[in-house]
Structure 1
Amino acid sequence: MRSLPPLASLRAFEAAGRLLSFQDAARELGLTPTAISHQVRLLEQSCGKPLFQRRPRPLSLTPAGATLLSRVSKGLDLFAEGFEAISDRQQQRLKVTATNAFAARWLMPRVPSWRALRPDIGLDIMGSDTVLDLVGGEVDVAIRYARQAPKGLVCSEIGRDNYLVVASPSLVGRGPLDFTPQDLSRYPLIDGQWTDDFLNPPMWFEWVRLARERWSDVPDLAGHASLSFREDLHGIEAAIAGYGIAICSDILVAPELASGALVRVSSLALEGYAFIAAHRPNHPRQQTIKAFEAWIAECFRAMMSTDHQRS
């Protein structure tokens, strides 16, 4: 007889491990972060080992957690495939990949809109900052984030973002605010970690470079950054929590800017990149993919129109 932990604990652990965030896992599964934490604790008690390093932040997997995550993810995929294979009402499914931040903060909140439009087509959303294989069929559609469209694929640009200097009102007040570089140097700063393949990434050193074209005597703000994150999600959460001033994509923090959870503190913005929908040329489900890409482009246009009216 198999000795297995509750499926709810496995699902909560898999989502938290994949997203490296209890809050994002809760959003994905329709639960609270407390419920995710409780289920993970139950699983840790069951196996007798910690699965996450919770301190210092950001959240990370222990070696045992990484080993378990690989196997649980494969197991849940097999469960899903098995259920789909025997389902009387087998639904078409579209595998979509995007960066972790875009998947969690932009795409997931709009899934109900897709379900209302195309209830016959389910979405398998894979957040990953690793480029997954479109040609080999690992995924059907990728939302790539780049200056230019990748070669050898059918691509359509959805839109572009800008990077704004933002902070929590609990740290800087509500404004209106337009800090000078000297003002910014008096606060803790949050920076991002970008790979070398991104040209002029929106980090503090790039902001300083542009600021020196506008002002004299600009301090080296990159050297003032007290926190640095590889994941955009973690940097955004740190800014919301009031840990420092960050440079964030206006697309990813649009809800917080609208609600006032974050405020813009400088008029100087950095140019971002393009969100590009891509699929392989010979994909057998061209019409389904075109419908998805048209929907996501329309969602983007609607969001930009709302932001323009608000401003």
Structure 2
Amino acid sequence: MPFPSLKSIQAFEATARHLSFSLAAKELYVSQSAVSHQVKSLEKALGKPLFQRQNNRISLTVYGDALYLVARESFARLKTITDNLSYQSKFKIRVMAQSAIAIDWLARRSVHFQQQHADIEVEIAMAVSDTDFDPFDYDVIVATWPQPDNFKSEAIRKEQWYPVCTPELLATIDLSSPTNLLHHTLFSSENKQDWKMWMKQYRIETIEEAELQLFSNTILATKAALSGLGVALSCDFLCYDLVKQKQLAAIKQWPYDLPWGNFTIHYRENSHLSEQIQIFKNWIIKTSQDERL
């Protein structure tokens, strides 16, 4: 059979992404009937239904779902290369970073990477959860999240977590026993699970003795420790600069392993930007390994 027209595949991809003929038409600046005609033409050429149509709503069939996965990836790669060609020979890589590492580590260090590699433009976005974005929109993901489909993964380093507080508060803590931390407010970012695991490691049997204040993520708990009114559990990625600036003190004699606390760099397989992605990946790993408290 002859290869289907690019226009029909484009109409199908936009319709599948929006699950709407009208929204696809709006995006492509054509009429809804034109989009519908292109999709029906593609279905006729393939001899397979791509959408189920019922009560003015559409959904992908198993054939449509299979084609959409490939079409989405192909159009994403086309957009990347055309964007790069239009940036006057600069190579642009799109990076998604978990908020915990993006805010106080990656954002400010990426400026140094940009100075060292003027031909590579790095666009950084951040998210709290891996459900907040589509991996297909990015070339690199830096996070504690699982490996997405069509990505390779490499551990950045083995991360160690430990209590942190202000130097002034640390001066008032009896460091002869970890149980003495329970005399202070504990800032938790994992609904008490982080401190429960820390206590289990040091054979502290109950958490009820401690006053805990809950936060939605680790960066907020770490920032709360700057108040001088309590202790958080943090790591080098989150508090390296704060410790170096003596705004926080790391209590590293009482570390623990957080099962979900190791950061990984996921990068797209078979990308035409493989060389630039490797340069960026190696820079993150080397920079992070050079910065250990």
User: Do both proteins adopt the same fold according to a TM-score greater than 0.5, normalized to the shorter chain?
Assistant: yes
Please say if residues 164 and 268 of structure 1, whose CA atoms lie closer than 8 Å, have aligned partners that are also in contact.
yes
Please say if residues 164 and 270 of structure 1, whose CA atoms lie closer than 8 Å, have aligned partners that are also in contact.
yes
Paired residue for 2:190, among 189, 193, 197?
A: 193
Calculate the TM-score normalised by the size of structure 1.
Answer: 0.59
1:260-293 CA-to-partner distances (Å, cap 9, x unmatched) read 2212346221114332211232322111111111
Please say if residues 186 and 213 of structure 2, whose CA atoms lie closer than 8 Å, have aligned partners that are also in contact.
yes
Residue identity matched to 1:130: S
Q: Alignment partner of 2:134: what SS? A: coil
2:269 matched to 1:281? Answer: yes
For the residues of structure 1 that align with 2:121 and 2:187, how far apart are their CA atoms? 37
1:98 equivalent in structure 2: 97
Note the residue ranges of structure 1 that are not aligned, 5 or more in a row: 1-80, 195-200, 213-217
2:113 matched to 1:133? Answer: no
Q: CA deviation at 1:297?
A: 1.3
For the residues of structure 2 that align with 1:239 and 1:270, how far apart are their CA atoms? 18
Residue identity matched to 2:113: W
Q: Alignment partner of 1:184: what SS? A: helix
Q: 1:117 to 1:264 in 2, by over 3 A?
A: closer
1:75-109 CA-to-partner distances (Å, cap 9, x unmatched) read xxxxxx9xx89977474321101111201111112
| Aligned CA-pair RMSD | 2.9
Paired residue for 1:238, among 200, 224, 230?
A: 224
Please say if residues 92 and 120 of structure 2, whose CA atoms lie closer than 8 Å, have aligned partners that are also in contact.
yes
Query: What is the 5 A alignment of 1:11-50?
Result: none
Q: CA deviation at 1:301?
A: 2.2
For the residues of structure 1 that align with 2:113 and 2:97, how far apart are their CA atoms? 16
Q: Alignment partner of 1:160: what SS? A: coil
How many residues are aligned here?
208
Paired residue for 2:175, among 174, 178, 189?
A: 178
Paired residue for 2:255, among 245, 269, 276?
A: 269
Please say if residues 84 and 90 of structure 2, whose CA atoms lie closer than 8 Å, have aligned partners that are also in contact.
no
Percent of aligned positions that are identical: 20
Tell which structure's C-alpha radius of gyration is larger.
Answer: 2
For the residues of structure 1 that align with 2:117 and 2:99, how far apart are their CA atoms? 24
Residue identity matched to 1:260: K
2:196 matched to 1:205? Answer: yes
Q: CA deviation at 1:179?
A: 5.0
Q: 1:105 to 1:237 in 2, by over 3 A?
A: same
Q: CA deviation at 1:210?
A: 0.9
1:163 equivalent in structure 2: 161
Query: What is the 5 A alignment of 1:73-112?
Result: 89=88, 91-112=90-111
Q: Alignment partner of 2:222: what SS? A: helix
Please say if residues 97 and 141 of structure 1, whose CA atoms lie closer than 8 Å, have aligned partners that are also in contact.
yes
Note the residue ranges of structure 2 that are not aligned, 5 or more in a row: 1-79
Q: CA deviation at 1:233?
A: 1.8
Q: 1:162 to 1:128 in 2, by over 3 A?
A: same
1:123 equivalent in structure 2: 122
